[in-house]
Amino acid sequence: MAFAHGFDSTSLREYDIRGIVGKTLHPRDAYAIGRTFGSMVARAGGRTIAVGYDGRLSSPELEAALVSGAVASGVEVLRVGLGPTPMLYFASTVMDADGAVMVTGSHNPPDHNGFKMILAGQPFFGSRIRELGDLAACGDVVPERAGSVRDVDIRQAYAARLARDWDGGARRLKIVWDNGNGAAGEVLAELVRQIPGEHTILNGAIDGRFPAHHPDPTIPRNLAQLTAAVRDTGADIGIAFDGDADRIGVVDDRGEILWSDQLLVLLARDVLRARPGSTVIADVKASQVLFDEVGRAGGLPLMWRSGHSPIKARMVETGAPLAGEMSGHIFFADRWFGFDDALYAAVRVLGMVARMETTLSAARETLPRMVSTPELRFDCPDARKFLVIEDVAARLAEEGADMSTIDGVRVNSADGWWLLRASNTQAMLVARAESATQEGLERLKAALTAQLERAGVAAPDFAGEGH
């Protein structure tokens, strides 16, 4: 029987394939991904695909269907099993796999799930995902033939490689970890046995129901348990992961959140001491403080598009040893492999803190203080969101605005900057603004609101400030 499969129109995203299990995502979709992606690997001359899955309740069934589809395409599947997404990236790299697929819902609600892919060592996103959808829809796959499956337990090797890059000083840290019941649980337990410090792990058991709190460390309420534990125990630092541990959250010794762009400044200073003049990449949502401080530390700051896939691709193009996003993705190509790995980032952060002559909170306070909005996400139909950005950008260009159009529009003024971009993954627009003063921030919000109104879009709710 000929193969052909149509995906739900909402499931093929810019950076991955994902949906709501039982509604827009089913095991038959997972089989189709395995069958089609396996064909793409085979046609490119590849023979092996590494496959892993996270701790969501639906992941084992989806992984099994994915493997069946890949095997039917004649490839060998290296079955890595349950673990964090970066463990699959690591397995794919060290085993020289021709492709890799991770079954993960990342930080999304428990009833969501999805697939992240790598082809020939490069991120698989954008046009390649659309190509996969087109190939599946018309049944354009290699003839069915029996491949094979090999189970690979790489957890010990991964944890050992993470621990190998510990570079702390004599200071012994007290560390609280919040696994958030995510997929890093078993690897984290092994890692803390191999690096110095007094370790406390919260929510270490992998549980796809996420009973303690939602596993998204960029939302302050999800860090409340970690913050309380750091303060109660007098810890030096607290570290949290999202559901598949490719994003990190950090709180300092006072239990205050260290936002991703602040963390990246400290990491950049550390990396640039050994690699002066290197490029450091951050996404368009990051604070101007980050770009300024990278320059002051002797680096070359580079603003780039949001999204882990374009950031990774840009790192390869520029040779950047370090990159990060406001969403908590931190990418090291300095002694590491260039992919986003919150466990590895944690090791490097801890090493940096252990070498500090002061506390992490004191280091945070060396950064210029800014006021900003949080990342504001508000509804806008997929068919319209990019047209809104084009309209605003064209009008600003006519007005001679100082702006960047790398990803949406980021407008600079004497008060600071504001950003408006279209989400690549949802029917939403994204906005943010930052100033040195509250008065300046109000003027920036008014300028952003005026542009949205001229484009026929209601302004977002600016309630609640960022950092």
Query: Residue type at 96?
Result: D
User: CA torsion 352→357→360→364, rounded to 10°?
Assistant: -100
Catalytic residue IDs: 106
Report the C-alpha gap between 399 and 409 in whole angstroms: 14
| Residue 207 confidence (pLDDT) | 97
Confidence of residue 3 (pLDDT cuts 50, 70, 90): confident
Retrieve residue 130's tokens: 């659309």
Q: What is d(CA 217, CA 55) in angstroms, rounded to the nearest whole number?
A: 17
Q: What's the pLDDT score for residue 309?
A: 87
Cα end-to-end span (Å), the chain: 57
Looking at 151-165, 190-204, 306-320, which range is the least confident one?
306-320
Cβ atoms within 10 A of the Cβ of 462, count?
Answer: 16
Q: CA dihedral defined by 190, 193, 196, 201, rounded to 10 degrees?
A: 70
Is 131's pLDDT higher than 50? yes
Task: Give residue 466's pLDDT band: very low, low, confident or very high (50, 70, 90).
Answer: very low
Q: 20: helix, coil or strand?
A: strand
Task: Of 270, 346, 281, give the one whose Cα is nearest residue 311.
Answer: 281
Q: Determine the 3-state secondary structure of 409 from DSSP.
A: strand
Domains of the chain: 17-153 (3.40.120.10), 157-364 (3.40.120.10), 371-454 (3.30.310.50)
Q: If you average pLDDT over residues 384-400, what whole number do you get?
A: 96
| Residues in Cβ contact with 201 at an 8 Å cutoff, skipping those fewer than 6 apart | 177, 178, 179, 188, 189, 192
Q: Quote the CA–CA distance of 204 and 192 in Å, as a whole number.
A: 12
Who contacts 52 (Cβ-Cβ below 8 Å, separation ≥6)?
63, 80, 81, 82, 83, 85, 87, 88, 91, 100, 101, 102, 103
**Cα–Cα distance between 26 and 8 in angstroms, integer?**
10
Is 50:99 a contact under the CB 8 Å cutoff? yes
Residue 256 has pLDDT above 60, yes or no: yes
Structure tokens at 169: 């000083």
Mean pLDDT of 352-365: 96
Residues 299-339 have pLDDT tens digits of: 999 999 998 889 999 999 999 999 999 999 999 999 999 99
Give me the half-sphere count of Cα atoms (radius 13 Å) on the Cβ side of residue 302: 20
Give the pLDDT band (50/70/90) at residue 463.
Answer: low
Residues 6+ apart with CB under 8 A from 450: none
- Averaged pLDDT for residues 67-90: 98
- The H helix count followed by the E strand count for the chain is 14, 22
| Residue (of 230, 225, 226) closest to 174 by Cα position | 230
In sequence order, the 6+-apart residues with CB closer than 8 A to the CB of 199 are: 175, 177, 192
Residue 210 has pLDDT above 90, yes or no: yes
